[in-house]
């Protein structure tokens, strides 16, 4: 398949930008980024109840924004049957150093999943790896949010036994790293890991059919699609190394399995749902993780979104491809069963 046509029609807004930092340094950068993300299709976010709490953590309070959808009263859903609302602790992406609770991958996604499931989404405002902040601080913030969610699940109307944990890109890394810690510490694990295009390996093996940025490709449609993307959407080995070294505050060899969980033994982890993108240099990281889970006998629901690029959930849900991704994630949250 070729690049999704709705996404393809937005690429000119970020053409020529080598990175998000470079784009935002341009006086028109914010306007260009919003045009790239918003698209042209009309969209209104669903109305859900929203509040923010400060969760205590070892590094200080962690803001957690709580979204509660209207439960299904038809009698067909677990919530309607009295088993507790579907619930998800969600961690946004941004290369460990960017993003926040207001980005579409956090706010829009949380509203949509809460609305589609009639459940609860807790979006974690973890500390970013900048200004001297490094691992394990973001990792500990996510753990603090998870432990708070387990403790307060009943008052949120949820069942702690079916509480899911997930995230996108670097947030997927933080979610899996937290799950590994919980497993090792003997604490309650998520009912399911719900991940979107996760970045889990510091030195990502590049499949032979994926060209480096700037390479022309060799005629294969996927190669041509990858090679034709704006540089801002590509990830080289140097890009990945720089992200990880900034996150851990040192060389790659310092990274523990909680910081780079793609290298850890996944045995004992809960079931997972993993969404990857067809046109994404980091796709192989999610696919390697899926392979490792399956080899360990862990149930995985894997979806490769045709025509998608990395971070596509940061686009407006007016795009059909974003709607499909959101529906996959919401369905996986709604179907979670107790793991422990």
pLDDT of residue 214: 54
> Is the confidence at residue 325, as pLDDT, over 70?
yes
Angle between helices 170-185 and 137-152 (to 10 degrees): 70
Mean pLDDT of 107-113: 98
Give yes or no for residue 171 having a pLDDT over 80. yes
Residue 77, pLDDT > 90, answer: no
The whole-angstrom separation of Cα 28 and Cα 137 is 33
Choice among 22-31, 198-207, 215-224, 326-335 with the minimum mean pLDDT: 215-224
Token reading at 34: 């919003």
- DSSP H/E element including 22: helix 20-25
- Stretch 116-138: mean pLDDT, rounded? 98
Give tens-digit pLDDT for 199-229.
Answer: 999 987 666 555 555 555 444 556 777 989 9
DSSP of 228-248, one letter per residue?
TS-GGG---HHHHHHHHHHHH
What confidence tens digit (pLDDT) does each residue in 274-309 have? 999 999 999 999 999 999 999 999 999 999 999 999
Average pLDDT over residues 151-180: 98
> Rounded mean pLDDT of 110-124?
98
For helices 107-117 and 320-334, give the axis angle rounded to 10 degrees: 60
Predicted local confidence at residue 208, as pLDDT: 53
Residue 209 has what pLDDT?
Answer: 56
pLDDT value at residue 264: 97
pLDDT at 78: 46
Other CB atoms within 10 Å distance of the CB of residue 64: 25
Q: What is the mean pLDDT of residues 75-92?
A: 74
Q: Which of 93, 157, 171, 78 is nearest to 121 (CA)?
A: 157
For residue 108 the two structure tokens come to 């829009």
| Residue 337: pLDDT band with limits 50, 70, 90 | very high
If you average pLDDT over every residue of the chain, what do you get? Answer: 92
CB contact at 8 A, 47 and 114: no
Distance CA 330, CA 305 (A): 15
The residue whose two tokens read 């046109």 is 279
Please state whether the peptide bond connecting residue 299 to the residue before it is cis, i.e. omega within 30 degrees of 0. no
pLDDT at 219: 45
- pLDDT > 70: what percent of the chain? 91
Distance between CA atoms of residues 115 and 12, nearest Å: 32
Q: Where do the domains of the chain lie? A: 48-334
Report the alpha-carbon distance of residue 137 to residue 127 in Å, rounded.
7
Is 177 a residue whose pLDDT tops 70? Answer: yes
Q: Which of 138, 148, 208 is nearest to 172 (CA)?
A: 138
Half-sphere exposure of 189 (CA within 13 A, CB side): 25
Residue 310 near residue 282 (C-beta atoms within 8 A): yes
Say what the pLDDT of residue 71 is: 73
Cβ(245)–Cβ(238) under 8 Å?
Answer: no
- Strand-pair category, 158-168 with 85-91: parallel
- What confidence score (pLDDT) does residue 191 get? 98
What is the structure's pLDDT at 300? 98
Please give the average per-residue pLDDT across 243-266, as a whole number: 96
What is the mean predicted confidence (pLDDT) over 129-134?
97
Give the model's pLDDT for residue 245: 97
pLDDT at 74 over 90: no
The string of DSSP codes covering 157-221 is: TEEEEEEEEEEETHHHHHHHHHHHHHHHHTPPPPS-EEEES----SSPPPPTT-PPTT----S-H
CATH, domain range 48-334? 3.40.50.1820
74 burial type by CB count under 10 A (0-12 exposed, 13-18 middle, 19+ buried) = exposed
Given this model, what pLDDT does residue 274 score?
Answer: 98
3-state secondary structure at position 106: coil
Residue 196's DSSP bridge partners are: 168, 275
What is the structure's pLDDT at 225?
79
Owner of token pair 């205590």: 56
This prediction has a pTM of: 0.93
State yes or no: pLDDT of 15 exceeds 70: yes
Confidence of residue 75 (pLDDT cuts 50, 70, 90): low
Q: Is the pLDDT of residue 46 over 80?
A: yes
| Out of 250-254, 298-302, 317-321, least confident range | 250-254
Q: Over the range 103-121, which residues count as b (16 or more CB within 10 Å of their CB) and which as e?
A: bbbbbbbbbbbbbbbbbbb
Q: Bin 56: left if φ > 0, else alpha if -120 < ψ < 50, else beta.
A: beta
């Amino acid at each position: 398949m070729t690049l999704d046509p709705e996404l393809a029609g937005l690429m000119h807004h970020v053409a020529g930008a080598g990175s998000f930092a470079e784009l935002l340094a341009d006086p028109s950068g914010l306007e260009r980024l919003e045009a790239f993300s918003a698209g042209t299709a009309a969209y209104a976010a669903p109305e859900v109840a929203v509040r923010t709490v400060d969760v205590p953590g070892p590094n200080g309070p962690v803001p957690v924004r709580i979204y509660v959808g209207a439960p299904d009263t038809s009698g067909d859903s677990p919530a309607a049957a009295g088993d507790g609302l579907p619930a998800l602790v969600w961690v946004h992406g941004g290369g460990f150093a960017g993003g926040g609770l207001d980005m579409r991958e956090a706010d829009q996604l949380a509203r949509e999943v809460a609305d589609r499931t009639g459940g609860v989404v807790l979006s974690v405002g973890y500390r970013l790896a900048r200004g001297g902040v490094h691992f394990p601080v973001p990792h500990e913030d996510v753990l603090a949010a998870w432990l708070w969610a387990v403790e307060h699940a009943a008052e949120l109307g949820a069942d702690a036994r079916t509480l899911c944990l997930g995230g996108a890109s670097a947030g997927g890394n933080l979610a899996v790293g937290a799950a590994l810690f919980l497993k090792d510490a003997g604490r309650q694990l998520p009912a399911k890991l719900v991940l979107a295009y996760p970045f889990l390996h510091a030195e990502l093996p590049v499949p032979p059919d994926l060209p480096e940025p700037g390479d022309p490709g060799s005629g294969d449609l996927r190669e041509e699609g990858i090679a034709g993307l704006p540089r801002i959407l590509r990830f080289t080995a140097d890009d990945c190394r720089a992200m990880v070294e900034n996150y851990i505050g040192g060389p790659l060899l310092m990274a523990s399995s909680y910081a780079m969980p793609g290298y850890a033994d996944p045995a004992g982890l809960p079931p997972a749902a993993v969404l990857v993108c067809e046109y994404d240099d980091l796709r192989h990281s999610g696919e390697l993780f899926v392979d490792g889970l399956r080899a360990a006998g862990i149930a995985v629901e894997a979806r490769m979104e045709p025509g998608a690029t990395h971070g596509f959930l940061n686009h407006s849900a007016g795009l059909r491809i974003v709607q499909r991704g959101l529906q996959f994630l919401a369905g996986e949250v709604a179907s979670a069963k107790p793991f422990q």
